[in-house]
Chain A
Amino acid sequence: MTDVRMVLRLYIAGRAPNSVRAIANATAICHEHFAACHTLEIVDLLEDPRRALADGIIVTPTLLKLSPLPVQRVIGNLNDTDRVLMTLANE
């Protein structure tokens, strides 16, 4: 799994508390578990709402795993690291 490039996209809403929390958690998880082999894109809905529609996002924060497939979503502030990892590993 570490050989495969992990592509993630995190939808947030400005500096709202759960969004801030989610950014910090996502960044930490990527550094710790995917090291050099990942891409984490952060999309602020307040700035770019249209992209949320394209990805079918209905709430923030939402973490979207785009690659490797299948596409997976983790809803919330990403405090539960184990659950995040389990969801991302679910193929």
Chain B
Amino acid sequence: MKGGDVLQMQDLARRLSEAEATIEALLSGQIDAVVDAGSSTPILLSNAQAALRESEERLRHERDRAQRYLDTATVMLIALDPDGRIMLANRFACAVLGWTEPELLGRDWFETCLAPRLREQVRVRFGELLRGDVSIAENAVVTRGGEERIVEWRSTLNRDDSGRVIGTLSSGTDVTDRSHAADAVQAAEERMRFALEAAKVGIWEMDCLTGVIAWSPILEAQYGLAEGAFDGTFASFSALIHPEDRESVLQTIDRSMKSGADFSVLHRALWACGTVRWLNGSGRTLLGPLGEPLRAVGISIDVTERHTLEEQYRQAQKMEAVGRLASGVAHDFNNLLTVILGFTEFVSADAARGSQDASDLAEIIKAAQSASGLTRQLLAFSRQQVLHAAPLDVNVLMTEMTGMLGRLIGEHIEVTLTLSPRLCLALADRGQLEQVVMNLVVNARDAMPDGGRLTIETKDVILEASSSHPEAIVPGAYVLLTIGDTGTGMDEETQRRIFEPFFTTKEIGKGTGLGLSTTYGIVRQSKGYIWVDSEPGCGTTFNIYLPCPAANETGAVVEPAAVAAPARRASETVLLVEDEPGVRQLAKRILDKAGYRVLEAANGEDAERIFAQYAQRIDLVVTDVVMPGCGGPELLSRLQVSAPELRVLYMSGYTEPSAVHAAGIGRGLPFVQKPFTAAEFAQQVRDALDR
């Protein structure tokens, strides 16, 4: 063969070999495309085309899915590179931040989307995240419009195929509204806590399964414990309840635990130091599905002050009621005593001097006078007697009384008198104030059988109105008279009752039980106050506040009673008005003996009729103050319509304040207090006529 032929043969063999290889490759599925020489375009083989299409679709599908996920996600998705530049921001993130994706990409996250105050702090945390610390964080982002939104971020690290960290991927939830709601709840809780603290309401909660009780600091304070001192056990709670209230409190709680009913219980807390406080507790038990107690919650309020005021108010009401009763009895009793004393005196005057009759009658008079003293005390307590209050120097009175007081209390008691050198005058009835001092000093003596010290002090004070005191205090200047002893003292129960009439701690026969109630009545009627301060073993102090007279009252000095004029034969005509026949008969007898002409009337209507008939001849009307129908003052005002100059003498064993005020009695008008002696009565009638 020629060389060219050889080359041709070699080329042919190569091409054949290529063709074989091509066919083989085609058969074994290794060919993707065949080139169409005519159109010069490659024709993809069907399997190859399908595979190609499938792979392209898969790619597109994955890309679409990823994009869809990014776009529809309702969380913010932000990818940052290690320098903090934004590599990805989904649609939601863009919407929250107010930027488009192209605007955000490549920008510095910290500079673009964080408030300046937060940048450094968040950058530090970003560094920690890049070092691999798992990160959940909450911080505010700033939108393009400048608004701050609170976002809770969950971040992970982005790594390439070799595991190198190429940035972070963070998903963020906008929790601004939730955060605001949480703020609102917190604010409401704070308001509630403030209100409870301001109202001093203690709170407790008990887990019924573990028995653990939690107390608020206020509740601990209500039981006299320091903050955090309560150990949370029921036994400790139980021990803090006053022993006398413990059983009822525990029973009440136990019933609530069984029934689930709300409970409310007033009880005392006994502090470690012995202080007793009144607490009003309310609670509720929350039951489980089987009726078993799960949890109990409740509140507690210290009502000690209120409770004390209520007690004092009840006491004051009781005193008032007893006072009314006492004065009613005293009135009737005084009428009887007036009759007994008066007629006994008549008989006595006729009895032979030194005879057994005279001696017996003297005993009757003594007993009646003693009874009269008792009714005076009752009237003093019930503030129904007539006081002759006048400006009085309490220092002078005390100094004058010292000698008498020394004899009264004996040498085993030291008396200390501390008198303020400059003391206002006090408006008081001198005799009654003496009675007050005597009563208190005698009580002090009896409280110090083994000796001690009695202190009497005076000073000026200003009292201010106080809503916490059961007695409505009239603010103003007062003279404070303090009488204190170092004796046995009194417990609270005794202090509460000392001013009650017939309450006595003394042995039977040693005290009437009227001393302090009389004292109380006198002081109160003088528009003053008496308060006691005492503790068992620490003595007792009485503080008496006597009002200082207003400037325009200081000049009104009551003249001492004129010395009785010698008896002379009277000739005037007296209209005697008295509903009680015994008293009327007695008064008529006294007036008859003194020489008066007496016209008698049993009531106001009788008196008017008689007066109409004898008006010209009547010189004086002597009338009882309180009578059925028309009373004394009303009668007088009727009679004075036709006789304005008509003179009057009132008599009463019972001076009702309203009647006294209406008639101006006690402010200078003639008045005779029953029971009276014949001489007293005659003198008062004479005085009234001579005015």
What residues of chain A lie closer than 8 Å to B18, measured between beta carbons?
A: 73, 75
* Complex A-B: 29 CB contacts under 8 Å: A13-B32, A13-B42, A15-B55, A16-B33, A16-B44, A16-B48, A16-B51, A17-B32, A17-B55, A18-B31, A18-B32, A18-B48, A19-B32, A45-B35, A45-B42, A46-B33, A58-B34, A59-B25, A59-B35, A60-B33, A60-B35, A61-B31, A61-B32, A75-B24, A75-B25, A76-B24, A76-B30, A76-B31, A77-B25
B:47-102 near A, CB below 8 Å: 48, 51-52, 55-56
User: A76 and B48: CB pair below 8 A?
Assistant: no
A74 within 8 A of B: yes
Who on chain B is nearest to A55 by CB?
Answer: B35
User: A59 and B26: CB pair below 8 A?
Assistant: yes
A26 to chain B minimum Cβ distance, whole angstroms, is: 13
User: B31 and A59: CB pair below 8 A?
Assistant: yes
User: A18 and B30: CB pair below 8 A?
Assistant: yes
Interface residues on A, range: 20 to 34
What residues of chain A lie closer than 8 Å to B563, measured between beta carbons?
A: none
Who on chain A is nearest to B25 by CB?
Answer: A76
**Bound Cα distance A45, B48 (Å):** 14
A:4-42 near B, CB below 8 Å: 12-19
What residues of chain B lie closer than 8 Å to A18, measured between beta carbons?
A: 29-32, 48
A21 to chain B minimum Cβ distance, whole angstroms, is: 8
Given contacts A46-B42, A74-B21, contact A57 B35 (CB under 8 A): yes
**Bound Cα distance A61, B51 (Å):** 15
A77 to chain B minimum Cβ distance, whole angstroms, is: 4
B41 within 8 A of A: yes
User: Interface code A49-88, partner B: CB below 8 Å = 1, 0 otherwise?
Assistant: 1101100011111000000000001111101000000000
User: Interface code B1-39, partner A: CB below 8 Å = 1, 0 otherwise?
Assistant: 000000000000000001001101110111111110100
User: B42 and A60: CB pair below 8 A?
Assistant: yes
What residues of chain B lie closer than 8 Å to A16, measured between beta carbons?
A: 32-33, 44, 48, 51-52
What residues of chain A lie closer than 8 Å to B251, measured between beta carbons?
A: none
Given contacts A59-B22, A75-B21, contact A14 B52 (CB under 8 A): yes
What residues of chain B lie closer than 8 Å to A50, measured between beta carbons?
A: 40
Partner of A15, one of B22, B28, B35, B56: B56
Give the residue among A46, A52, A57, A75 with the most B Cβ atoms within 10 A.
A75
User: B31 and A60: CB pair below 8 A?
Assistant: yes
Q: A residues within 8 Å of B by Cβ?
A: 12-19, 45-46, 49-50, 52-53, 57-61, 73-77, 79
Given contacts A18-B32, A60-B32, A61-B32, contact A53 B37 (CB under 8 A): yes
B57 to chain A minimum Cβ distance, whole angstroms, is: 12
What residues of chain A lie closer than 8 Å to B35, measured between beta carbons?
A: 45, 49, 52-53, 57-60
Known contacts A52-B42, A53-B35, A61-B30; 17 additional CB pairs below 8 A are A13-B48, A14-B44, A14-B52, A15-B56, A16-B32, A17-B32, A17-B48, A18-B31, A45-B35, A45-B42, A46-B33, A49-B42, A53-B40, A57-B35, A59-B25, A74-B21, A76-B25
**Bound Cα distance A84, B416 (Å):** 136
**Bound Cα distance A76, B41 (Å):** 19
What residues of chain A lie closer than 8 Å to B24, measured between beta carbons?
A: 75-76
B498 to chain A minimum Cβ distance, whole angstroms, is: 113
Who on chain A is nearest to B29 by CB?
Answer: A18
What residues of chain B lie closer than 8 Å to A61, measured between beta carbons?
A: 30-32
What residues of chain A lie closer than 8 Å to B44, measured between beta carbons?
A: 13-14, 16
What residues of chain A lie closer than 8 Å to B51, measured between beta carbons?
A: 16-17
**Bound Cα distance A56, B60 (Å):** 34
**Bound Cα distance A70, B41 (Å):** 27
B44 to chain A minimum Cβ distance, whole angstroms, is: 6
B42 to chain A minimum Cβ distance, whole angstroms, is: 4
**Bound Cα distance A12, B28 (Å):** 17
**Bound Cα distance A31, B32 (Å):** 25
Give the residue among B18, B34, B35 with the most A Cβ atoms within 10 A.
B35
User: B22 and A58: CB pair below 8 A?
Assistant: yes
User: B42 and A12: CB pair below 8 A?
Assistant: no
What residues of chain B lie closer than 8 Å to A17, measured between beta carbons?
A: 32, 48, 51-52, 55
**Bound Cα distance A57, B32 (Å):** 13
**Bound Cα distance A50, B42 (Å):** 10
**Bound Cα distance A49, B40 (Å):** 6
User: Interface code B205-220, partner A: CB below 8 Å = 1, 0 otherwise?
Assistant: 0000000000000000
User: Interface code B432-462, partner A: CB below 8 Å = 1, 0 otherwise?
Assistant: 0000000000000000000000000000000
Partner of A75, one of B22, B40, B52: B22
User: B31 and A75: CB pair below 8 A?
Assistant: yes
User: B40 and A59: CB pair below 8 A?
Assistant: no
What residues of chain B lie closer than 8 Å to A12, measured between beta carbons?
A: 32
B17 to chain A minimum Cβ distance, whole angstroms, is: 9
Give the residue among A16, A17, A61, A73 with the most B Cβ atoms within 10 A.
A16
**Bound Cα distance A79, B25 (Å):** 11
Who on chain A is nearest to B42 by CB?
Answer: A45
Who on chain B is nearest to A87 by CB?
Answer: B21
What residues of chain A lie closer than 8 Å to B30, measured between beta carbons?
A: 18, 61, 75-77, 79
A73 to chain B minimum Cβ distance, whole angstroms, is: 6
**Bound Cα distance A59, B28 (Å):** 13
B533 to chain A minimum Cβ distance, whole angstroms, is: 107
What residues of chain A lie closer than 8 Å to B25, measured between beta carbons?
A: 59, 75-77
A31 to chain B minimum Cβ distance, whole angstroms, is: 19
Give the residue among A50, A52, A59, A60 with the most B Cβ atoms within 10 A.
A59
B36 to chain A minimum Cβ distance, whole angstroms, is: 9
User: B34 and A59: CB pair below 8 A?
Assistant: yes
**Bound Cα distance A81, B539 (Å):** 122
**Bound Cα distance A16, B33 (Å):** 9
What residues of chain B lie closer than 8 Å to A19, measured between beta carbons?
A: 32
**Bound Cα distance A22, B55 (Å):** 17
B46 to chain A minimum Cβ distance, whole angstroms, is: 11
Closest 5 CB pairs of A and B: A76-B30, A16-B32, A13-B33, A76-B25, A45-B42
What residues of chain A lie closer than 8 Å to B48, measured between beta carbons?
A: 13, 16-18
What residues of chain A lie closer than 8 Å to B33, measured between beta carbons?
A: 13, 16, 45-46, 59-60
**Bound Cα distance A74, B35 (Å):** 16
A18 to chain B minimum Cβ distance, whole angstroms, is: 5
User: A49 and B41: CB pair below 8 A?
Assistant: yes
A30 to chain B minimum Cβ distance, whole angstroms, is: 19
Who on chain B is nearest to A73 by CB?
Answer: B18
**Bound Cα distance A13, B41 (Å):** 11
What residues of chain A lie closer than 8 Å to B29, measured between beta carbons?
A: 18
Give the residue among B25, B26, B51 with the most A Cβ atoms within 10 A.
B25
B634 to chain A minimum Cβ distance, whole angstroms, is: 129
**Bound Cα distance A61, B28 (Å):** 13
Who on chain B is nearest to A13 by CB?
Answer: B33
Who on chain A is nearest to B31 by CB?
Answer: A59
What residues of chain A lie closer than 8 Å to B26, measured between beta carbons?
A: 59
What residues of chain A lie closer than 8 Å to B34, measured between beta carbons?
A: 58-59
